[in-house]
Structure 1
Amino acid sequence: MAKVTPTAKKLLLGREIAYLRDRAGLSQSEAAALIEKRQSQFTALESGQASITPGDLRLLLDGLGVTEEQHISALLELRRGNHQRGRWTGIRSLYNEDFRTLVDLEEHCDLIRTVECEVPPGLLQCEAFTRALYSYAHTGPDLDDRVQARLARQAIYHKADPPQAAFVISESALRRQYGPPEVMREQIDYMIGLSTLPNVRLQVLPFKTRVQSASIRDGFVLLRIPSPGVAGPLEFAYTENEAELRYLDDKRTVAILDTAWARLAGAALSFEDSRGFLRAVADEYC
């Protein structure tokens, strides 16, 4: 069976259905019976791994006691736009299956918070730096396409309703040389430029600053996706290492990382002081 990449809209619809089912006091098997599906199929629906027809969605919502037409229309719209067909073509096809969920979530977020230690986050990377980062494994047109695929993610900054994007990055990410000095300076200048956008907040955590959280060492991303329903926003934590990418929606885990974010942001330099720090490091690459 082919692996399904959950889209943000599928995840939102699944969460809304799970919330409404719980509110109605029904088990998954009982709710599945409303639309003549197996429990396993319903579980896949709630986890964003399966779709539902408009007729079945209306039938399910009726069985769950949802009668407000505006609410029903909002969920039908989620269903209508949650398919993947045609989404991962061209340079977007270069995102691996596991990473596609993050790209889709970023496009629907109203808030993205990132902690990074060793490398500037992808959403802050300039073309020259990304090229230097990928050149060890790719060449020619393949390298060009991969660079453009990464840069394409930054289009979210300039869409009609852009997310708030906040970053705490360690000084190490500024000093670890992934390219020659001129590339590193260009990368830092690029981050300074992005930090002036009204929806981007960038803070630096210097080496000399004492922190009471090990999270700066590992890094993570917190994502919030608003919902048109009544279940509230989706909140995810994203982590990665050489072996795996993980999407965590467990409330306790998200809360722990939310607390870690608050501590690190509180310890980091202010926005203006961070820009000053970035300029000073950039000058060292002259």
Structure 2
Amino acid sequence: MTNINVLDPGASPLDYYGFELRRLREAAGLTQRQLGDIVNYTGSLVGQIETARKLPTPSFSEHVDAALGTGGVLSRLVILVMRSQLPAWFQQVAELEVRAVEICTFQMGIVHGLLQTPEYVRAVLGALDDTDLDDRTAVRLARQRIFEKEEPPLFWMVLSEAALHQEIGSPEVMRQQLTHLLSFENNPRINVQVLPFSSGAHAGLTGSFTVFRFSSDPTIVYTEGYGSGHPTANPDTVKDCSLRYDHLRAAALSLKESADLIRLVMEERYGEQGEADGDPVA
């Protein structure tokens, strides 16, 4: 007789998800294999998710919700599951991203996580540690679902030109990432400005930071160190960083000029190289 693992739904969001998935499946009179066949996943995967040994994805959740007619229960729950898998010190920041009406970020070395492509995410997260890379990538990408809300936040990123030249992953990964940034050219709620090398000394030399603004709560500034995050609502810090951000945005290229520079770097640095380098010497 198969030993069925009994989950404590109060242990974690992941355990609760598994408990609910099993409850809903059994209520529909389906085996794990039958449900897997319906949603085009293996029965083994369904079982691993039900026993909290595998992380569910938003796509899996949407398929199961549709198959079982749950009204979107799992799709809503998977958001909490994904957030619970973030490093403990970052979970509060993910909550700020969900609640904010405006997010303004300055990034020195890499594209902000909310605008990263899957391949770029894998290259960033796997630089020193590639364990559970699929799950960690899915968790980061899940944060981007805030842009699918009925009222998504206004997002503004000032990105150092250095981040365009820093090759993360491979030329192909960078082409995809820069193409992704260009896809927001006509989206008034997601804005990308590039701070060019020619700007010289600027207000962001002390490091990257993000300003979260809310409809009724105080503004919060977030900075990050190695393995730690530092959100603060200290009025002096908020005032200082807000002023710095205004100066950074003023020093950066316009939205159109930024898109032109991104396109130029993408073509010149990461474009197809042709066969010139491989031609034999005559």
SS of residue matched to 1:256: helix
Higher relative contact order (CA 8 A, sep 6+): 1
Q: For residues 148-183 of structure 1, give each alpha carbon's deviation from its aligned partner in whole angstroms, at most 9, with x where no partner exists.
A: 111111111121011100010101111111211111
| Equivalent position of 1:83 in the other structure | none
1:1-286 matched pairs, under 5 angstroms: 90-139=81-130, 142-213=132-203, 215-227=204-216, 233-283=217-267, 284-286=269-271
Cα deviation for residue 90 of structure 1 reads 3.5
Q: Sequence identity of aligned pairs in percent?
A: 32
* Contact in 1 for aligned 2:79/2:142 (Cα 8 Å): no
Deviation, 1:216, is 4.1
TM-score, structure 1 normalization: 0.64
Alignment coverage as a number of residue pairs = 194
- Which amino acid in 2 is paired with 1:252? D
User: Aligned partners of 1:243 and 1:122: how far apart in 2?
Assistant: 16
Deviation at 1:189? 0.7
The Cα RMSD (Å) is 1.8
8 Å CA contact retained: 2:120, 2:169? yes
Q: Runs of 5+ in structure 1 lacking a partner?
A: 1-85, 228-232
Q: Which amino acid aligns with 1:116?
A: Q
Instruction: Give, in whole Å, the separation in 2 of the partners of 1:175 and 1:149.
Output: 26
Compute the displacement of 1:111 (Å): 0.5
Partners in 2 of 1:224 and 1:116 — Cα distance?
Answer: 18
Q: Deviations over 1:112-139 (max 9, x none)?
A: 0000101111111101100111223444
The verdict on how the C-alpha distance between 1:217 and 1:196 changes in structure 2, with shifts beyond 3 A counting, is farther
Separation in 2, partners of 1:168, 1:277: 13
Partner SS state of residue 154, structure 1: helix
Q: Is the 8 A contact 2:89 2:227 kept in 1?
A: no
Unaligned runs of 5+ in 2: 1-76, 272-282
Secondary structure (helix, strand or coil) at the match of 2:199 reads coil
